[in-house]
Every structure is written in C-alpha cells, then in structure tokens.
A and B are shown apart, each in its own frame.
Chain A
C-alpha cells in the first residue's frame, strides 16, 4: 500500500501538468477531462495527504472552470483541510468554500476544525477559516462559532479583525441572535483609528441597512462623522448609501446631510463618489431644491461626457429624478432625444425609458409620433423595444394618458405596418380591448381594421396574424360602423387568407358571417320599408305562418329529442336543419320588435345601396370563397364555414328565387327571410363588454348545482358523442326547452348559429336574474364619471394648431403645455371593479425580518446584553413588547430550531415606527457608556446564554415580573443626535 502511494506521489500529475496538458490539447477536451477525472478519483482516495491534496487541487480547478461536480470529494476535502500543513490546509479550504452548501451532508463535520483554526495562533489559518465561514456559513456554523467570531472582533491584528467584521454579516444573516453578542463590538469598530476597519464595518452596515434601515437610525451620528471627516472614497460611497436609506426615514437627518453631500459634490474629483452623491440626492433628498439643482448640473456634465459609461449613468440619474422633478429631464431633453440614436443599445434603452417617463396626457401624441417614426428607421430589436414601451405606456391604467382614441387607434394601425413589428399580441389585445371599452372609438377602430384587413401584404407576415385576427373580429362585431361592408367581406374572404393559421381563419369566417348578416338585414329592412306600404300588417302574418308549418316540424322535434337517435343526426342534411332553424326563428320572432334595430342601422341604409344584385353577388362571393373550405380538416373552420354556407343556401332561395313559390306568397317569403336574418342579427347585436377578472367569484352558485358531481352517467347517455363546448348552453332557458334536442343536432352537423343565438337569450335571461353582475351601459358611465370632465368647447377652437412638422416636434414635444387643448372630450372608458384592483399599485408589505428585530432590541434596549440571564429575558420581553406574541420569540430555547429562514411577522415594523415617533434624549449616551461597561460581562454572556435558555422555565416568573420594567426602559427610541 505504501509502495503504491509513493509511486502515485512520484508520478502524479500536478495541477501545472494538467493545465499544460490542456493547452497542448492533443485529444478532445471532454476526453481529456474525463481521463483527468479518472486519475483524480483514484488519487484522492490515497492516504497520503500530499497526493490527496494535489488531487483535490486539480479537482477544484476543473470544477470551477469546467463545471464538474466535485461533491463526491466533500469528505476528502475535510481531510485535507484538517491537515496541519498550511499548504494543504489552504487547498482543502479552497475546495470547501467552492463546493459546500447547505445540502452538503458532511457540513456538520467541519465545525470543530473551523473552531480550531479560528483559535489558531497563525493568522493566516484564522483568515482561511473566516473566509470559509463567510462563504458557506449556515445556521449551525453561525451559531456554534459566534463566540469565536466575537473574540476575533477585537483581535489585535487588523488583518484578522477586518475579516471578522466582514464575516459578521453572514453570521447575523444566518443566526440573528448573534447580534446580541457581537453588535456592540461591531459598532465600536466604527470608532477605530484604522480606516480599513472602519471601511469594513461600514460595508457591513451598508448591507444590513438595505434590509431594514430603520434599525440603524441610532447610528447616524457615527456615520455622519465619517461623511464629514473621511477622505476615503470607498468609505464615503458606502456611507452615502446608508444615508440614502436613512434620510428617507428621518427628515431631520436629511436636512443635516444635505450640505456635506453638496460639499462632496463640488469638491470631489472622483466620478464614482460624485455619482453616488448625485444618486443620493436625486433618490432621497429630492425635496432640497438647491441640492437637486447642483446634482442636475453634475448630471449634465455626465451627459455631455464622451465616456459612454458616464452618459449611461447620467441618463439613469435623470430617470430617478423624473417623477419628482420633470424639469430636470426637460432641461436635457435634446440630449435625451439624441441618445435615442446612440450606438449603444443600453444607452438607447435608457433614453427610451426617460422619454416614456415624460409622457403625459398632453404630449403623448407628439412623443409617440417621434418614437414611432424613429422605430421605422431602427433595427428590429430596438424597434420592438420602442413599440413595446409605447404600447405599455399608453395602455397604462386603462389608457389613462390617451384622450383622443381615434388618434391612438390609427397609431396602432400604423405600428402594425412597421416592418419589424413583432408586438402582435399586445396590439391584438389593445384593439379588442378598446373596441369593448371605448364606444366612441369604434367607428375609427373599424376603419383602421378595415385598412389592415384589406391589405394583402400584411397576411404574409406571421407576426401580424394575431393583429389581423383582432381586426377581423372588430370589423365583424362592429360592422354597423363600416362604410362599405361589401369591401369588408371581400377583404375577409380574399384568397391570401389561406396564409393564416386555422384558428385565425376561423375568426375570419365568423366575422364574414356577421358582415353577411348585417348586409342582409340592411337590405331587407330597406326593402321592407318599401314593401311596408303595400303590406302594412307584417307581424300578424307571422303567427299564421307558424300555425301552417307547425305540423311537420313538431314531429321532427319530437324525434330529435330522443337521445337514442343521436347517431341519426349526423346524416341530417343541412337543408333539414336550416328548415328547423327557420321554423324556430319564426316561433320566436314574435317577441322581437322591429323598431328596435331599425334605428341603429337606418343611418347606414341611406348611404349604402343594398340592392338585390349586390346582395346576390355578395352571397355568391361567400359561397365561392367558402365553398372549398367546407372540407377543411380544421374543425373550427369547417364548422363555421358550414354555418355560413347553410345560411346563404337558405337565404338565397328566399331572396333570389321568390318565384319558386307562389306569386302571392312572395311578400311572405321576404318576411320569412327577414325574420331569420333579424333573429341572427339580434344574436350578434348584443353588446360585448370587458369582464372583470373577479367577476366569476361574484356569481352565486345556484342551488342544486353540484359542480363536482360525477358525470359518469352522462357518458352512458351520450355514448360516443363528443360534447362540443357550446353544449353547455343547452341547460336552462325555459322558452327554448323544446329545442334543446335540435340545437344539439345542429351542433353535430356543424351549425353554430343556433347555439350562439341560444346563448344570447340565455345570457339575457341570466342578466335579468343577476343584473347587478352585468355592466349596464348607464351604470358603467356612472362608474367612470370620475374622469376629468370634457374640456369646455371654447378651447376647441385652438385644437388643430398642434400639427407642427416633425422637426419642430422633437423640439417642442417635450415641453409641457399649460393647458391641454383636446379636440374632443375624452370618451368614456369602461372600468370595472376588478380592473382597479389590478391597477392599484400593490403596496409591498415591509417585512421586518428576524435580524432587524434583534438589531433593534440591541440598539434600543441596551440592557439586553449587559447580563447573561437578561439576554434571554430581554428577548422575551422584547417579543412581548411587540404586541402579539410570536412563538419563535416567546420560546427562546426553541427559537434556535425555528430560526432557519423564518421571517418575523411584520408587526415589528409597526412597532418600530410607533417607537420612532417618540424621540427622547439621553438614550444614546446611555448606550455608549453601557457598551464599554458591559463588555467584560458579554464574554461570559455568550457561554452562559445557552444555559440560561435551558433554564428558561425557571426564570419565567421573574421574567414576567421584569417585563414591565423593560417596557419602560425600551420604549424611548431614536435619540435626537445631531438634530
């Protein structure tokens, strides 16, 4: 065994050999590595420490640079680390810091070795152990090694002390109770004469204060001293960071630090310090006008500098100022606009963010105009950044900044045409959203969508397909605003639509159906108006018709209601279904009053010539274009196409060939077709509105509806029918009860018009019963009446002066105008309760963590540390003070187990804010003097603390007795230092 060991040592490859081997690269890298790993796995098992450590060194190297797993060597690393030779120890420690984490099983084994090394007389060994602790320290290590760290905090060697200070951060984080032990010494190091130590301590406080700045307010005087006296830029930067946090909490403190910071700003030559000053001023001292002005001057220096880094940071600083001092941005607007064409993507992005920050109701049009024009010229990535930020800025808070929706809608159309545009999804959502929310924008919306649909070039760009889908939906839904429905139909049916994905094509077909129905309705209404002079008694004819045709149909209905016939339905030919549909519509036609719908579309009748020829050609186009699609493999398309075709088939017979029937019947035919069309139109004319995200929760589950009921028996009834989604509409709806069977039949044979009709009536029914959950149009107007009232018409005179040319725009766009001159009053935007919830900026709850709780205890209640038994008591009392007793704090002996990662409930923060309202004098002084006195005792405190915890039960009575005392002693809080 010894022999092989020697052999191995002699012929072992050193790390250097390994690296050389890599560089020669005679074999493939992966082969080389796996060979090396084989070697290492063998060598690392050696009992000879030099061999082992050499292997470990190689392994660490491979692991850190080539990402190889070295967890298998954990135990070996510990062995090497335990070596008495510093050379090996170093390698062992390095391997451990690099590879150990909380999940490493052998973690427990290093505690003793660490303790031994922390107590070593060799400062480099101590240093290794400290470094290790700072990287892998977990709760156990932190707890067990707190006494050692505490001792090292006052080590005579600066080299050790500074490291101990840095380690404290990790220890506190993992084991907050260590604060009680170490905090005082940590603070004392602030007064050290050695700048290295001060710097280290400030670094620790800088990190600590990020989590909960309030706890460190009492230390402000020390930091202030550093701020004024120190010449070390590293240190000053850290102190400034701390003050940036503290000043936000304590206005009096802010007042004190403004001047020193301005001094630094004027004096310093170091850009890093200057920038930190600027950042502190703009983020935390923004109410001090003179300081902000000075900062903005300095920012300007950054902006005009050639160094891209300074430029970038200058823009960032402006972005921080923007919300409070928009003038600072406006002052530099030319530069911001210029940066938009910088060579650096990051700078461009910052500039874009700044521009968007400037957007308000008054300048949104101009800024977005500049940006969109710029987007056309820029590369794809930045173009989409621009579009994305324009879209998100404009739709913020339900289009808060948009007044002129006609303009915005046309801007959306314009964006679509930008060649690089990839924001299909967002534009799609906004088109539909605006359609539903903003009634007044619909005419322009339809116009824009028509332009998009009609352009065959857009169909070739897959990024735009979703926008086209929205456009198709909009033009179908709001077809009554269309200037030329025939043109729209042609656009929807153009041959290039075969480039669309099938789902979007289905949307197109459905839109075509809506358009078709609109045209037919308009035509028939028109014809009806002429005819009505001859046949004034239209409505009375309908019941007659029903009675004559009731006979054959009712038998049909009877059979269709029988589920066992489901198979048979498939073979129904479309004509049959249409007939039954026709019949139904007649039955229900009685309820509908003609005059209702007449009003809405009559305005269009005048303009459009819905002649017989045009309608016939329209029907022909539809048949021609959709005919081939009826065999589509996509269910959605096929189904919808069949609907449309079936419908045209029916209508055509009625309209084109009235002569087929008896001459005296022709008027009747028109009426017949008319009722069908009207019914269809009715189905589509119900307004769709936005639905609040929380709407579903408001709907009470009706009695007797068991949502989780086993649906197995349904299976047996329905056999192999695959239930279409729409079948869910078939429950309820009393007046349609008898047609449920039919509607299913029609679903089976791809007739969708039926359910959609039915669903609206169901919806109406539902609306009647649960009216309050629906948006009635009047209601919503009331709801959104909190919008600023429309501008008085007097200002309308000036409106169109705004059309400056582009060059001027860049100049003027960013200047805020005193009074907005809007072309129109802002249209109503539907708002929902749920929207507001979503919009309301979520206030993130500030959670005081365990650590800050303890820190506060230590800083504010000094007696906590003075005596050993008191330390646990103060813990208890402090938790009592916090109001609701939390288990973790209440049972100090258990708290250790519970500490891992647990966050204290947020009432800490509340108490502290309450406390801070009662500043009192004298506390600060007390703390200092006690710190010095209590130091000696603290040493024992650490060891005895555990004991006291164990015997905690015994002390309980006394603790409670002391509690009231502590409450009195600890309420006073932030001392008036320097104020």
Chain B
C-alpha cells in the first residue's frame, strides 16, 4: 500500500485535510487522528520527523502552523516521503501563492484533487508540479 493516509493538522490539533487510502470507519479515523496528533505535535522542532505508531510509521513535517503527516508502511523510504511532503507544499504554494491554512480550508476540494493527481492507491504516481496542476488549472479556467 505504501502510503496509508495523509493528514494535515494545524497547531491546535484540528484536522484540516484527511485522505485515507485504506478503509477505516469514522471511529477508527477519529481515534487514529487523536493518537497521532498527540504523539507528533508534542515533539520538538529539533527532533526527528519519524514516529513509529502501531504497525506503521508516520513521517511528518511542519510548515508554519500546519503539520503534514503521512502514514506509511514500515519499509517505505522515510526521506522520500519527506521529499513528497515538500513537493506537495511546493505544489500548493505554486497554485495558491504562499499557501496557508486558510487556503486549504477554503479549497479543500482542490487540495484533494492535487493529492489525487500525486498519489493513487497509495503509490506516488506524479512528481511533476506542472503535471499535477494542469487539470486543476484547466478546471479553474472552465468554471
């Protein structure tokens, strides 16, 4: 499965985006998010960005007030996932222009759409910013 879920959580621990690549019930999701937020947000800046949780790993990175957390299988390459997170942020940056929490709140669908372009079925399928953004720009234009 590679990537199991992608979460964006703000400093207060509120989920801003949640994308799961395996089916979890709402209760499971809520429990999972709670546990992860408690575990990761408490960690200091200079600590490493990998946390083992249950039977998988969480790779996370903080950008301003937003935490990007990615749950991956144990044999996934942590550094590659960090690069993936960075790519995601850069992509959003390019689209929204200096992306912030509000952008994601108000354009959740677009954020999801970008993710869908980048990740499919838990595998990273697209890593070119231009390719990722092309359909969204097209849609923006048409509407």
Q: Which residues of A contact B (CB under 8 A)?
A: 16, 19, 57, 61, 63-65, 67-69, 86-87, 90-91, 94, 101-102, 124, 127, 130-131, 134-135, 159, 162-163, 165-167, 169-170, 196, 199-200, 203-204, 206-207, 210, 233-234, 237, 241, 271-272, 275-276, 279, 308-309, 311-313, 343-347
Contact = CB atoms under 8 A, between A and B. Distances in A.
A162 B16 CA distance: 28
A308 B106 contact: no
Given A275-B77, A309-B82, A65 B18 contact: yes
Nearest to B27: A67
B52 interface: yes
Contacts of B143: 87
A238 B110 CA distance: 28
B16 A65 contact: yes
A863 B73 CA distance: 36
Interface string B39-72: 0000110111111100000000000000000000
Contacts of A102: 23
B116 A346 contact: no
Contacts of B142: 86
A149 to B, nearest CB: 12
Contacts of B122: 207
A788 to B, nearest CB: 36
B131 A196 contact: yes
B47 A344 contact: yes
A234 B2 CA distance: 13
Contacts of B123: 166, 169, 200, 203-204, 206-207
A272 B80 CA distance: 5
Contacts of B121: 134-135, 166-167, 169-170
Nearest to B80: A272
B109 A346 contact: no
Contacts of A87: 143
29 contacts: A19-B105, A64-B17, A65-B17, A67-B27, A67-B30, A91-B109, A94-B112, A102-B23, A130-B120, A134-B120, A135-B121, A162-B125, A166-B123, A166-B125, A167-B120, A167-B121, A196-B131, A199-B125, A199-B127, A203-B2, A203-B125, A234-B80, A272-B77, A276-B77, A279-B77, A308-B49, A309-B49, A344-B48, A346-B47
A626 B143 CA distance: 88
A5 to B, nearest CB: 22
A308 B47 CA distance: 6
A369 to B, nearest CB: 28
Nearest to B121: A134
A163 to B, nearest CB: 6
A271 B46 contact: no
Contacts of A233: 80
A275 B79 contact: yes
Nearest to B127: A234
A167 B44 CA distance: 38
A536 B108 CA distance: 100
Contacts of A67: 26-27, 29-30
Given A102-B23, A166-B121, A312 B48 contact: yes
Chain B interface residue number, banded: 35 or more
Contact of B51 (A68, A86, A166, A346): A346
Given A131-B116, A163-B120, A309-B79, A207 B50 contact: no
B23 A237 contact: no
A482 B52 CA distance: 47
B73 to A, nearest CB: 8
A131 B83 CA distance: 23
A417 to B, nearest CB: 30
Contact of A313 (B52, B79, B124): B79
Nearest to B16: A65
A134 B121 CA distance: 6
Given A94-B109, A134-B121, A199-B125, A207 B79 contact: no
A344 B116 CA distance: 34
Interface centre among B16, B21, B23, B139, by most chain A C-beta atoms within 10 angstroms, is: B23
B120 A65 contact: no
Contacts of B48: 308-309, 311-312, 344, 346-347
Contact of B126 (A61, A162, A170, A210): A162
A311 B15 CA distance: 30
Contact of A272 (B75, B83, B125): B83
A488 B14 CA distance: 58
B77 A65 contact: no
Contacts of B16: 65
B80 A343 contact: no
A309 B82 CA distance: 10
A313 B116 CA distance: 29
Given A207-B1, A237-B80, A276-B80, A312 B50 contact: yes
Contacts of A124: 135, 138-139
Nearest to A279: B77
A667 to B, nearest CB: 73
B40 to A, nearest CB: 11
Nearest to B123: A203
Contacts of B49: 308-309
A232 to B, nearest CB: 8
B80 A101 contact: no
Contacts of A311: 48
A237 B47 contact: no
Contact of A346 (B2, B46, B50): B50
A486 to B, nearest CB: 52
Nearest to A20: B106
Contacts of A347: 47-48
A234 B119 CA distance: 13
A501 to B, nearest CB: 32
B1 A343 contact: no
Nearest to A166: B120
Nearest to B75: A241
Nearest to B73: A210
A249 to B, nearest CB: 16
A313 B76 CA distance: 12
Contact of A101 (B14, B23, B106, B112): B23
Contacts of A91: 109
A313 B112 CA distance: 30
Given A308-B48, A344-B48, A271 B112 contact: no
Interface in B1-22: 1-2, 14-18, 21
A363 to B, nearest CB: 27
A978 B3 CA distance: 32
Top 8 nearest A-B pairs by Cβ distance? Answer: A272-B79, A166-B120, A203-B123, A308-B48, A344-B47, A312-B48, A134-B121, A272-B80
B78 interface: yes
Contacts of B109: 57, 90-91, 94
Contacts of B27: 67
A196 to B, nearest CB: 7
A165 B83 CA distance: 23
A19 B120 contact: no
A135 B4 CA distance: 11
A210 B72 CA distance: 14
